[in-house]
Amino acid sequence: MKVAIVGLPLSGKSTVFDAVTGMAHDPAAMPDIRHGTVHVPDARLEYLTRLCNPKKVTEATIEFVDIPGGAATEAGARDGFRRALPEIRLCEALAVVVRDHDAPTVPMYRDRIDPAADLREIWDELIFGDLDSVTTRIERLERALKKPSKTRDHELRELEALRRCETALEGGEPVSGVLTADEDRRLLASFAFLTQRPMVVVRNVSEDHVAGPAAPLSEHAAQTIALCASAEAEIARLDPDDRAAFLEDLRIELPARDRLIQACYEVMGMVSFLTMGPDEVRAWTIRKGSTAVEAAGKIHSDLARGFIRAETVSYDDLVAHADLRGARAAGKVRQEGKTYVVADGDILNIKFNV
Ligand SMILES: Nc1nc2c(ncn2[C@@H]2O[C@H](COP(=O)(O)OP(=O)(O)O)[C@@H](O)[C@H]2O)c(=O)[nH]1
Ligand SMILES: [Mg+2]
């Protein structure tokens, strides 16, 4: 899972990236694209580790990409963003950072603190990016359709779907609204539309505003969180032992890293299942609604091919009965078939035969 951190210049993108990865950046240096792989915090793994004492513990991972914003001028920002579009298209979700603090130490990008307007500006760039791909392809198809072709039917269908996208985008709406049928989505999958990406909005607020819920700024964002990027970046670089005290001081319940990852899982519709044994305790990420055989395939294709059943216990049931033996005695260990829909926190033991 790969998430692009995007936003206007000086909104705090690189600082948010630092907060989730524990890295550091020099705000004075030329911005550079950065990639960081983060282990997904999961307290459930700790419990299972105490139970199994495994040789290895493997957390799920998520990759964040710090997208450089270009120079802090209107033309520079637009140019920088457009140059970064190919990189953004490689990511499955977007975290849009908007400045929502007025610290005088940070120069203002165009004389305003207006997170909703900044978000609209980013949204317009996403619309622009998609519209650009759509119109280019429409022109090409229209030319091609003037000549006879064996693939004419397919091209006509594509053209029709693209025209719907064009209309939506011209009205400032995402293509996701008009590509609801699976067939349309398949037909246009190669476009990797930006306005189809699930979006988390990160309001970069000052330290005294982190408590309380974050009001949404756009109907297009499935999740909105508020955090103070600079404080969180410092916290992320602290010794884990000192971290708790700082978080408490700032009345932060969960660090930014955890909250942003949770929000990304949420907007992407991802859940985790767990496996445990003497060799390895591990968390796996799958799409919500995945079946037991799909989960098995995530582990290894042999497990999907030779799938017999999934011995399943929910993490909560396991904890309630202390361990696997206790859960089994209480009848909480189920034998599930191929089509069982895996729930978040299910502990699976795949029985298979190849
Ligand atoms: N006071 C304050 N400053 C911040 C915050 N987040 C970022 N900054 C500062 O704002 C400047 C721009 O941040 P940066 O992350 O480099 O922005 P980017 O251009 O979006 O990558 C840097 O000097 C940061 O230290 C914040 O939450 N509060
Ligand atoms: Mg930056």
CA-proximal residue: ligand 1, atom 26 (nearest): 230
The pLDDT assigned to 212 comes to 61
Using CB distances shorter than 6 Å, the residues near ligand 1 are 7, 9-15, 27, 69, 101, 103, 105-106, 204, 206, 228-230
106 CA distance to ligand 1 middle (Å): 7
Amino acid at 199: M
Q: What is the pLDDT of residues 30-73, one digit of tens each?
A: 788 999 999 999 999 999 999 999 999 999 999 999 998 777 78
Q: What is the pLDDT of residues 168-187, one digit of tens each?
A: 999 999 998 999 899 999 99
Q: In 3D, which of 344, 353, 351, 352 has the Cα closest to residue 315?
A: 344
What dihedral do alpha carbons 234, 238, 243, 249 form, nearest 10°? -40
H/E run at residue 7: strand 2-7
Ligand that comes closest to the CA of residue 226? 1
For residue 170, give the 3-state DSSP assignment: helix
* Residue 16 confidence (pLDDT) above 80: yes
Residue 83: count of CB within 10 angstroms of its CB: 12
Beta bridge partners of 273: 284
CA-proximal residue: ligand 1, atom 1 (nearest): 103
* Residue 215 confidence (pLDDT) above 80: yes
Ligand that comes closest to the CA of residue 72? 1
CA-proximal residue: ligand 1, atom 7 (nearest): 12
Residue 319: count of CB within 10 angstroms of its CB: 16
Q: What is the CA radius of gyration of the chain?
A: 23
235 CA distance to ligand 2 middle (Å): 19
Q: What is the pLDDT of residues 126-164, one digit of tens each?
A: 999 999 999 999 999 999 999 988 999 999 999 999 999
* Residue 211 confidence (pLDDT) above 70: no
The pLDDT assigned to 213 comes to 67
CA-proximal residue: ligand 1, atom 5 (nearest): 230
CATH number for the domain formed by residue range(s) 289-352:
3.10.20.30
Q: How far apart are CA 47 and CA 274, in angstroms?
A: 12
